Amino acid sequence: MTKLNQLRFETRAIHAGQEPDPLTGAVVTPIVHASTFVQDGIGKNRGYLYARSANPTRLTVERCLADLEGAEMAFAFPTGLSAAATILEALDAGAHIVAHDDLYGGIYRLLNDVRPRSAGHKVTLVDFTDVDAVAAAVDDKTDLLWFETPSNPTLGIVDIAKIAQIAKGCRAISVCDNTFASPYLQRPIELGIDVVMHSATKFLSGHSDLLAGVVAVSATAPDGLCERIKLMQNATGAVLSAPDSSLLLRSIKTLPVRMDRHCQNASQIAEHLRENMDAYGLATVRYPGLPDNPGHAIAAKQMSGFGAIITLNVLGGLNRVEQVLKHCDLFHFAVSLGGVESLIQHPASLTHKTVPKDKRDAAGVTDDLIRLSVGIEDAGDLIADLQRAFHPV
Ligand SMILES: Cc1ncc(COP(=O)(O)O)c(C=O)c1O
């Protein structure tokens, strides 16, 4: 049998953690709906007791994800936010968290509105693209560092290896939200991060038909963290169902081909918009692959492709933003990202609505900002759609 860890990512995306079903020979992991499993005697079973603790279909996708992220173990959750909440549940009351000031709105709400009230967590927000600012914000009482890169929606690029070093220096747990890149483009654990989380609703699932979340824990994470997260998942009951685990497992098999096409399309569109900013009436075009984009050199160092997300600052205020959203056809006006179909959305009124306006503006999530999630359709058709919507002169 081929040693899996000698195989390339594309092969492991299809095979890691999976064997043909020993009972039937089915080449696809069966969906085991059972919530409970027969016990062979007291303390004796065939690996399963009750599906909240472990389910064979979920375990298969968890093993596959652990392999792809280079983690010791991975856990599959019903949403990205329940994955995030379970990581925070593993901290003690009163813990000090230093977090990126440019985070997905739902994580911001969890960190700033929910956990301080329910667990007395103290949260310091800082710009993680400024490594010196992060080093100045931590001390020996800091318990956890939390960031995402590229960040949602402004595509800030954080130097993952440097943040991992800062976390190790103050013995804090480091958490990287890897949703925008996926393990195909970026593997933070290989760069020294303790915990990777995903909204698997996005690229990992890839078809806008599934809500899911992932936590992957490094073998070098602080002692006991892996077991603690496992315990917290079981204690809070936040587990991905067997049918959804099967859907996620199937989606991951095409992650590399989808991501290659996402990246090709997005860079073609970003370059086109960047070259025609005046005609499109744009103040800025942000895409980590553009050579003049802030953080481009760091992105090139730690990512093998620049992803599918482009953000634009549109000239002409909110009225023009609304006109553009209305006139897109192939780009559907909808929240979320990472699906095979292209989406366009307005973070200030949707995904980041829960962030107070002054904080939003300070983080660059201004009213004139539009976010594109570039799908895997034909790039020429997508450009024609944007041309129609922006009415370039
Ligand atoms: C970067 C990021 N993290 C986490 C989440 C939350 O994930 P979910 O919607 O699956 O709960 C999202 C959702 O958009 C996201 O964009």
- CATH code of residue 92: 3.40.640.10
Question: Residue 302 CB: number of other CB atoms within 10 A?
Answer: 20
C-alpha 81 to ligand 1 mean position (Å): 6
C-alpha 368 to ligand 1 mean position (Å): 22
SS3 213: strand
Residue 363 is predicted with a pLDDT of 84
Residues 249 and 265 in one domain: no
- Tell me phi and psi for residue 324, to 5 degrees: -60, -50
Query: Which CATH number covers residue 284?
Result: 3.90.1150.10
Ligand 1 atom 8: the closest Cα is on which residue?
80
Probe residue for ligand 1, chosen from 82, 151, 152 as the CB with the greatest number of ligand atoms within 8 Å? 152
Residues 223 and 267 in one domain: no
Residues 205 and 270 in one domain: no
Residue 392 is predicted with a pLDDT of 58
- Please tell me the total count of domains within the chain: 2
Residue 4 is predicted with a pLDDT of 63
Residue at which a domain ends, from 223, 253, 283: 253
Active site residues: 52, 104, 177, 202
Query: Rounded to whole angstroms, how far apart are CA atoms 386 and 389?
Result: 5
Residue at which a domain ends, from 253, 272, 294: 253
Residues 142 and 214 in one domain: yes
C-alpha 5 to ligand 1 mean position (Å): 29
Residues 229 and 284 in one domain: no
Answer yes or no: pTM beyond 0.85: yes
Residue 2 is predicted with a pLDDT of 55
Q: E strands within 103-163?
A: 122-126, 142-148
Residues 228 and 348 in one domain: no
Residue range of the domain that includes 366: 256-390
C-alpha 112 to ligand 1 mean position (Å): 16
Each residue's pLDDT expressed in tens, for the chain with a length of 393 residues:
456 668 999 999 999 999 999 999 999 999 999 999 999 999 999 999 999 999 999 999 999 999 999 999 999 999 999 999 999 999 999 999 999 999 999 999 999 999 999 999 999 999 999 999 999 999 999 999 999 999 989 999 999 999 999 999 999 999 999 999 999 999 999 999 999 999 999 999 999 999 999 999 999 999 999 999 999 999 999 999 999 999 999 999 999 999 999 999 999 999 999 999 999 999 999 999 999 999 999 999 999 999 999 999 999 989 999 999 999 999 999 999 999 999 999 999 988 888 889 988 888 899 999 999 999 999 999 999 999 999 854
Which DSSP helix (H) or strand (E) runs through 8? none
Residues 294 and 309 in one domain: yes
Q: Please give the number of the atom of ligand 1 that sits closest to the Cα of 336.
A: 14
Residue 393 is predicted with a pLDDT of 45
- Tell me phi and psi for residue 98, to 5 degrees: -105, 120
C-alpha 215 to ligand 1 mean position (Å): 13
Ligand 1 atom 9: the closest Cα is on which residue?
80
Contact between 103 and 151 under an 8 Å Cβ cutoff? The reply is yes
Rg (the chain; Cα; Å)? 21
Ligand 1 atom 6: the closest Cα is on which residue?
80
Residue at which a domain ends, from 233, 253, 273: 253
Residues 95 and 113 in one domain: yes
Residues 351 and 221 in one domain: no
Query: Rounded to whole angstroms, how far apart are CA atoms 389 and 381?
Result: 12
Closest CA to 216 of 225, 207, 205, 206: 225
For ligand 1, residues with CB inside 6 Å are: 79-81, 104, 106-107, 148, 152, 177, 179, 199, 201, 211, 213
Residues 237 and 297 in one domain: no
Tokens of 172: 């804090």
Q: What is the pLDDT of residues 214-247, one digit of tens each?
A: 999 999 999 999 999 999 999 999 999 999 999 9
Q: What is the pLDDT of residues 13-40, one digit of tens each?
A: 999 999 999 999 999 999 999 999 999 9
Residues 213 and 288 in one domain: no
Contact between 267 and 307 under an 8 Å Cβ cutoff? The reply is no
Probe residue for ligand 1, chosen from 79, 88, 104 as the CB with the greatest number of ligand atoms within 8 Å? 104
Query: Rounded to whole angstroms, how far apart are CA atoms 213 and 75?
Result: 8
- Tell me phi and psi for residue 372, to 5 degrees: -105, 135
Query: Rounded to whole angstroms, how far apart are CA atoms 355 and 340?
Result: 28
Residues 65 and 181 in one domain: yes
